[in-house]
Amino acid sequence: MIQPNLLDYSKGSLNRSESQKIKAHTERCERCAVLLAQEVSFDRTLACLPEEMPANDVWALVRVRTKPRRFRPLAALEIMVNTRMRRVVATTATMAAVIGAFFIVNWPTYQPPVLLTTPQVVAVSDEPLAQHTDAVFDVIEKM
């Protein structure tokens, strides 16, 4: 790989063995020697070009677009999403969504489960009441 390294060679940024290899090659290969001169010349041309500068103050535009809002109820959520908590938040949100969806779908037909054991019927004796009735009749007869 001689040609892609020619510019680095001219800048002295190659290691010694690579540098020697290219030096030896350019001494015997006229084509690469010409290419080396072209690379150096073109690199100088590009380096001489001035740095570009914005004509207007763009900061004013950035400032308006990034103006912090005083009341930001979702700010905490945004921060959480941008941190390591996002997996936990995502999992919890998914679980809540699934559970919520289950209840919404089943709500109209939802009934509490029926108990398998039948409730015990307590037999109520009418005996005390009968005794009471007889006593009342006795009192009436004596009158």
Partner 1 sequence: MERAGDYDFSTSNEGLLELCKRQDQEALRVLFRRHERPVYSLLYRMLSNHEDAEESLAEVFVKVWRAAGSFKGEAKFTTWLYRIASNTARDKLRSRQIRQEVFIDDSIVDEVGLGERIASPGMDPEKCVLIADERARVMRAMQDLSEEDRLLVTLYHFQECDYEEISQVTGVSPANLKVRLFRARQRLRKLCADDEKEGGINEMRVDTAESSGLQQRVAESL
Query: Mask: binding to partner 1, 107-136, rule CB under 8 A, as x and -?
Result: ------------------------------
- Report the residue number, 67 or 132, with the smaller CB distance to partner 1: 67
Count of helix runs (H) and strand runs (E) in the chain: 7, 0
Q: Indicate which single residue of 15, 31, 49, 71 sits in contact with partner 1 (rule: CB under 8 A).
A: 49
Q: According to the binding rule CB under 8 A, does residue 48 interact with partner 1?
A: yes
Query: Mask: binding to partner 1, 58-77, rule CB under 8 A, as x and -?
Result: xx-xxx-xxxx------x--
Question: How buried is 6 (Cβ within 10 angstroms: 0-12 exposed, 13-18 middle, 19+ buried)?
Answer: buried
Q: Indicate which single residue of 43, 105, 133, 135 sits in contact with partner 1 (rule: CB under 8 A).
A: 43
- Report the residue number, 56 or 120, with the smaller CB distance to partner 1: 56
Q: Report the nearest approach of partner 1 to the CB of residue 87 (Å).
A: 15
- Report the residue number, 48 or 104, with the smaller CB distance to partner 1: 48
Token pair for 48: 């001489």
Burial code of 118-143, b = ≥16 C-beta within 10 A, e = fewer?
eeeeeeeeeeeeeeeeeeeeeeeeee
- Report the residue number, 90 or 105, with the smaller CB distance to partner 1: 90
CA distance 134 to 143: 14
| DSSP secondary structure string for all residues of 21-74 | HHHHHHHH-HHHHHHHHHHHHHHHHHHHSPPP--SS-THHHHHHHTPPPS--TT
Q: According to the binding rule CB under 8 A, does residue 46 interact with partner 1?
A: yes
- Report the residue number, 50 or 112, with the smaller CB distance to partner 1: 50
